């Protein structure tokens, strides 16, 4: 049960003379219910302190307000009978404050954090699936939604607000979750949104160009990710040794577990390790053999692509590190399922294979195309776009990759937001040696239809960028659109 006393809630930081009974915390005055505490944070784009009068009018029994991180002193001002408490460094303390309100829910479950540029969603859901298959009850938090896998609820951000995270963890605990697999974004780490989460295990997938519009440099981006392994005292740290950043970290983290696609990739590491010894690819999935500090074994899983082999190995290693038996993991691996919108295969007899993937970075697109080349008997198509109001530097890079690795590139729109779709495509075309060979169709459904109608049954069509998303963000607003729905309809002859 949450704490219902404001005095008790604030006890570690401030001794309140008069107590107030509280029924909830909220960051949004529009969602405030009578009896709630309004937490007014001074954000990057919005200062919620200007909504304090509206929150009081709506029935807030108290306000905890950001002091702007300037004075460093607690202060209290009564507005009528409502205490407005000026709280120093509120942004960086909000995770701890929220965790205290919900009675430290992460400490009552096993929490696994997954960070890196690509693979977070797939790994978190593979880990959750495997735990469920072995008798646990796992929830996930991340890009495709929060909740148990059978009933995910949409999430606006990969990592929610500090308050939202603790509220979700408390709900999972109340619904008897034993484990939570959480995607942890670089933004969430830098902004202290997971500061009070008790992580038992941390997984690093890889680091490639993304979010430079926020972090500025790759070094700052890497430093943000590293925080998950240096600031949380996790007992199990699993790191992709094939990634140059991961290999560098491992040299100063002998207690971490190294994972590689080759034995030589982990040879330098003195600690525990796991490496691939053999892999076979088929349209039905992958067959994997490995050796490790836990011994050697093999398994099959219905996922496609080389990077999904690494995703499976990282997931497996984490569960071994947490104490799961290797034989039980091997026995259930074949029951794992592909994650929606992550190298998700749509295939009907005598029609081209279509694959929907979330790849929206240069590295992810390259890996997706290289992975599908192994499954492609004829021509490989690539449909992709680049987001508006985001890192413009990756646009020509992604186009160059598509031109080099696919037989036919189709440039389309992918959440152009406030930018001109034509100008985004112009940026992309600059990365191509032969831009006239590219096909430009701004409507994604039309782009998918063109590829489908012009491909042979032995071709493979990658539809990259949106994955699980069921919307397109335009300058005029957000509309419903799903690559998955489009592809399914094409294959079933409904369009």
CA-CA-CA-CA torsion sign (189, 192, 194, 200): positive
Q: Which residues are annotated as a binding site for ATP?
A: 116-122
Task: Tell me the C-alpha distance between 210 and 221, whole Å.
Answer: 8
**Under 8 Å between Cβ of 369 and 446:** no
Asked if 344 contacts 356 with a C-beta cutoff of 8 angstroms, the reply is: yes
Cβ atoms 418, 388 nearer than 8 A: yes
DSSP class of 196: T
Pair type for strands 138-142 and 179-183: parallel
Q: Which residues are annotated as a binding site?
A: 27, 116-122, 157-159, 185, 191, 193, 390, 414-417, 465, 469
Phi, psi for 477 (deg, rounded to 5): 135, -175
Which domains are assigned to the chain? Answer: 6-100 (3.40.1390.10), 103-335 (3.40.1190.10), 344-491 (3.90.190.20)
Spatial distance between the Cα atoms of 366 and 481, rounded to a whole number of angstroms? 24
Nearest of 136, 191, 139, 130 to residue 160 by alpha carbon: 191
Residues 30 and 59 sit within 8 Å (Cβ to Cβ): no
What contacts 143, CB < 8 A, 6 or more positions away?
120, 121, 155, 158, 183, 358, 468
Give residue 52's Cα distance to chain centre: 33
Answer whether 257's CB lies under 8 Å from 317's CB. yes
**Could you give the CA distance from residue 245 to residue 250 in angstroms, rounded to a whole number?**
9
Partnered with residue 249 across adjacent β-strands are: none
Q: If DSSP codes are grouped into helix, strand and coil, which group holds residue 105?
A: helix
- Give pLDDT tens digits for 222-242: 888 898 999 989 999 999 999
Write out residues in the chain with pLDDT < 70, as ranges: 69-71, 158-159, 209-216, 494-495
For the chain, what is the largest distance between any 2 Cα atoms, rounded to a whole number of angstroms?
A: 76
Rounded CA-CA distance 281/284 in Å is 8
CA 233/CA 244 separation, integer angstroms: 23
* The pLDDT value given to residue 69: 60
Q: Report how far residue 78's alpha carbon sits from residue 62's, in angstroms, rounded to the nearest whole number.
A: 9
Q: Which residues fall within 8 angstroms of residue 354, CB to CB, at 6 or more apart?
A: 345, 346, 347, 448, 452, 460, 461, 463, 487, 490, 491
pTM: 0.84
Secondary structure (3-state) at 480: strand
Q: What is the pLDDT of residue 460?
A: 95
Closest CA to 339 of 369, 366, 301, 287: 301
Helices 362-373 and 306-321, interaxial angle, to 10°?
Answer: 110
The DSSP element (H or E) to which 422 belongs, if any, is helix 421-429
């Amino acid at each position: 049960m949450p704490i219902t006393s404001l005095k008790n809630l604030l006890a570690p930081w401030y001794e309140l003379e008069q107590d107030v009974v509280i029924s909830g915390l909220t960051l949004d005055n529009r969602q405030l219910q009578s009896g709630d505490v309004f937490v007014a944070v001074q954000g990057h784009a919005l200062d919620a302190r200007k909504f304090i009068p509206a929150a009081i009018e709506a029935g807030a029994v108290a306000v905890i307000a950001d002091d702007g991180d300037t004075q460093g002193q607690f202060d209290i001002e009564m507005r009528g009978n409502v205490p407005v408490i000026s709280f120093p460094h509120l942004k960086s303390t909000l995770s701890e404050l929220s965790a205290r309100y919900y009675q430290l829910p992460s400490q009552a479950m096993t929490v696994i954090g997954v960070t890196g540029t690509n693979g977070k969603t797939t790994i978190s859901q593979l880990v959750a699936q495997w735990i469920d298959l072995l008798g646990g009850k796992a929830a996930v938090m991340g890009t495709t939604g929060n909740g148990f896998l059978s009933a995910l609820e949409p999430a606006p951000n990969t990592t929610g607000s500090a308050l939202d995270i603790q509220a979700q963890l408390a709900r999972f605990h109340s619904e008897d979750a034993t484990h939570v697999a959480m995607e942890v974004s670089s933004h969430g780490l830098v902004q202290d949104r997971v500061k009070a989460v008790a992580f038992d295990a941390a997984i690093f997938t890889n680091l490639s160009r993304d979010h430079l519009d926020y972090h500025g440099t790759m070094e700052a981006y890497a430093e943000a990710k590293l925080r998950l392994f240096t600031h949380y005292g996790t007992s199990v740290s699993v790191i992709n040794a094939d990634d140059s950043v991961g290999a560098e970290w491992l040299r100063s983290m002998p207690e971490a577990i190294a994972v590689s696609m080759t034995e030589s990739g982990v040879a330098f590491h003195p600690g525990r390790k796991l490496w691939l010894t053999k892999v076979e690819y088929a349209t039905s999935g992958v067959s994997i053999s490995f050796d490790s500090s836990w011994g050697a074994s093999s398994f099959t899983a219905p996922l496609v692509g080389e990077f999904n082999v690494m995703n499976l190995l990282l997931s497996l290693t984490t569960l071994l590190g947490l104490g799961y038996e290797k034989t039980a993991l091997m026995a259930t691996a074949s029951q794992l399922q592909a994650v929606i919108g992550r190298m998700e295969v749509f295939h009907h007899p005598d029609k081209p294979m279509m694959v929907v993937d979330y790849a929206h970075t240069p590295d992810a697109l390259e890996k997706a195309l290289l992975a599908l080349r192994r499954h492609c008997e004829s021509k490989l198509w690539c449909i992709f776009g680049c987001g508006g109001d985001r890192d413009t530097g990756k646009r020509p890079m992604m186009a160059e990759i598509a031109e080099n690795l696919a037989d036919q590139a189709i440039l389309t729109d992918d959440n152009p937001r406030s930018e001109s779709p034509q100008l985004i495509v112009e940026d992309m075309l600059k990365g191509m040696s032969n831009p006239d060979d590219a096909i430009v169709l701004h409507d994604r459904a039309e782009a998918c239809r063109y590829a489908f109608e012009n491909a042979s049954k032995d071709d493979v069509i990658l539809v990259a960028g949106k994955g699980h998303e069921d919307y397109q963000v335009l300058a005029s607003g957000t509309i419903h659109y799903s690559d998955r729905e489009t592809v399914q309809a094409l294959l079933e002859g409904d369009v």
